[in-house]
Amino acid sequence: MTQLDSTYYLVLIETSGNQSFIFSTNKLKENIGASEVTYRAGTQWILEAVAKVNQMQPLSVWTNSQRLREMLCDEKKNPPIEKNECQAEIIIATSGKALILTKDADKAREIISSITKKALIEAPGLDIAGVFVPVDNWQAKNSLAEAIRAVHKCFEKTRSRRPSPESRFLRLPIIADCAVSGLPASKLDKNPENQLIPISKVSDVKRKASTKAIERLQNLDSRLMGDINKLEKLFEREETSWLAIVHADGNGLGQIFLNFEDYIGNDKSNRAYIHKYRNFSLELDECTEAAFKQAIEVLPSKNGNLPLVPLIVGGDDLTVVCDGHHALEFTRVFLQEFEKQTQAKSHIAQVAQTAFQVNRLSACAGISIVKRHFPFSVAYELADSLIKSAKDVKHKVTKPNSNSQTPFPCSAIDFHILYDTSGIEFDSIRKNLKSASNTLLYNRPYIVSDMDDLQSAEGYDWAKQHEWERLKNRVDSLNRKDPENSDRPPISSSQSHAIRTALFIGKDEADAQYALIRQRYNLDDFAESEDNKSLFYESQDKQGNRPIYITSFLDALDAKDFLKNEQTNPSEQ
């Protein structure tokens, strides 16, 4: 049997429940530390375990994402599995996830055992597991692609049978509660007021990891995480009365990775697959980082600290906590820049062209804006629901002449400002924004992609109604006088409240209220009907059986105080 005829093994190691692990408390130190532990599990720990198997010197490049990407492509530091001296090859290693090839099953078990044991000892509370499957007949085309699908199925099956990490924290004998997380306490630690408080092992690990996260995050931008204590105090002041959880995610990436062999060209060999899979993944990581760096420029720097905590920045994922007043503009810039960056990357552009007939990718984002003491875990759940709502664009804007309704790359934002905590479920929130079964008081999500790029897509007319610029122009009209008629000021708060109240009564009542005041205030941008007398435009329900009426007035009213950036609001710095 030749080396190429050998059966190799594909290992998948992945964390689960990341968001509950990260957002279990509202303490920034613990949020950042949990994120750092998750990141290290898929990078540092993987590098150390594979180095041990290959009997090589461990590499400490995990602190710098650019060096990590370079190392993964370096055949001297990450040799191909076909080489006789190589026992394990890393395909990808990113935050919370890694794919590894090994020469035999024992080496696969050794790597998984090393990682999971390390998690039990050094990161209690982190849910991480590993599985492996054989890659039979290495020389056969697409055999690795089949193994990747199989290992993900195996992982899902295995994960469903594993007990939750919470079962590790028993309360017998009776133990004091952690002052932060509610888990059983394991030690006493000092709080910012220098008082001793009981904390759990999980909180202790997160706090220690937070100090180690600073170096890595400052490689992205020196203004990030300059002083965690100062940042926590900044977020607790009255001036930062609103915080936002921003969650962004690429569109269609799951389908691309699931059928990646369909997009790599004529060479279907496993080595070509690894090369293109790895480079596509690494370019995606670069694009997310570059877009993030551009987006933070809209934030005001206060005493050397940006009012933002990056929790996940990598792959096609972004999760941050930031000043709520700047969240919408930050997210818009991130999504638009993400599209530009993917277009400039050769491997991504090639795959996207094959998948979508457009040489770029897109992403969507959900933004939940809440009062600063609102539980982060609940705010994240809302942001997660909002991103699913934003991803409805995949069904609205599709590839032309596509019988399978293939999505057309289109980036969108959905957001909600939580003024009332009595109804915090997404379905309940949207149900309350209907004054009748065929009348919607919201126009979200909003498209941030360049509309010229969408002209050839099916659903272009729908996209025009949901264009971000329309929202921005309407927010502007709420904040300024009519530029062509200085006698028409922005609408007063009392009249805004009157229209809001009328909207919840019904369409006719809202239009009547609008007719009474539209000549006195700068409200022309809100006219939707041909005769400029209605706040509503007519659309069709999902089945196309009956008309529905939609207004964006409440969207603009909600966004009025939350569309700020450093360039347009320099006085706030």
Q: What is the pTM of this model?
A: 0.92
Whether residue 193 lies inside any domain: the answer is: no
Domain count, the chain: 3
Whether residue 97 is found in the same domain as residue 233:
no
Whether residue 278 is found in the same domain as residue 364:
yes
pLDDT bin (cut points 50, 70, 90) of residue 253 is very high
Angle at alpha carbon of residue 280, lines to 312 and 264, rounded to 5°: 150
Whether residue 332 is found in the same domain as residue 405:
yes
Whether residue 461 lies inside any domain: the answer is: no
Q: Helices 28-42 and 228-236 meet at what angle, rounded to 10? A: 130
Whether residue 93 is found in the same domain as residue 20:
yes
Which of 99, 79, 73, 65 is closest to 279 using CA atoms?
A: 73
Whether residue 236 lies inside any domain: the answer is: yes
> Which CATH number covers residue 257?
3.30.70.270
Whether residue 162 is found in the same domain as residue 273:
no
Whether residue 430 is found in the same domain as residue 502:
no
Whether residue 462 lies inside any domain: the answer is: no
Q: For residue 402, what pLDDT is reported?
A: 67
Q: Where are the alpha helices (DSSP H) in 98-239?
A: 105-122, 143-161, 201-218, 228-236
Of the given ranges (204-213, 271-280, 381-390), which has the lowest mean pLDDT?
204-213
Of the given ranges (404-418, 442-456, 458-472), which has the lowest mean pLDDT?
404-418
Whether residue 293 is found in the same domain as residue 346:
yes
Whether residue 374 lies inside any domain: the answer is: yes
Whether residue 306 lies inside any domain: the answer is: yes
Statement: residue 571 has pLDDT above 50: no
Which of 82, 74, 59 is closest to 279 using CA atoms?
A: 74
Cα 483 from Cα 38, distance rounded (Å): 51
- Residue, of 435 and 153, whose pLDDT is higher: 153
Residues in the chain: 573
Quickly list DSSP for 31-58.
HHHHHHHHHHHHTHHHHHHHHHHTT-PP
Cβ-based neighbour number of residue 387 at 10 Å: 23
Statement: residue 421 has pLDDT above 80: no
Mean pLDDT (whole number) for 521-537: 89
Q: Which domain holds residue 565?
A: 473-572
Q: Where are the alpha helices (DSSP H) in 404-506?
A: 426-431, 460-465, 468-479, 493-505
Looking at 167, 201, 233, the residue that finishes a domain is 167
Statement: residue 453 has pLDDT above 80: yes
Mean pLDDT (whole number) for 447-456: 94
Whether residue 60 lies inside any domain: the answer is: yes
Mean pLDDT (whole number) for 221-234: 74
Half-sphere exposure of 205 (CA within 13 A, CB side): 23
Q: For residue 194, what pLDDT is reported?
A: 82
pLDDT, tens digit, for every residue of 71-127?
999 998 999 999 988 999 999 999 999 999 999 999 999 999 999 999 999 998 999
> Which CATH number covers residue 66?
3.30.70
Whether residue 116 is found in the same domain as residue 244:
no
Q: For residue 156, what pLDDT is reported?
A: 94
Whether residue 450 lies inside any domain: the answer is: no
Whether residue 425 is found in the same domain as residue 494:
no
Whether residue 397 is found in the same domain as residue 545:
no
Whether residue 507 is found in the same domain as residue 419:
no
Q: For residue 66, what pLDDT is reported?
A: 87
Whether residue 259 is found in the same domain as residue 373:
yes
* Terminal Cα distance for the chain, rounded: 69
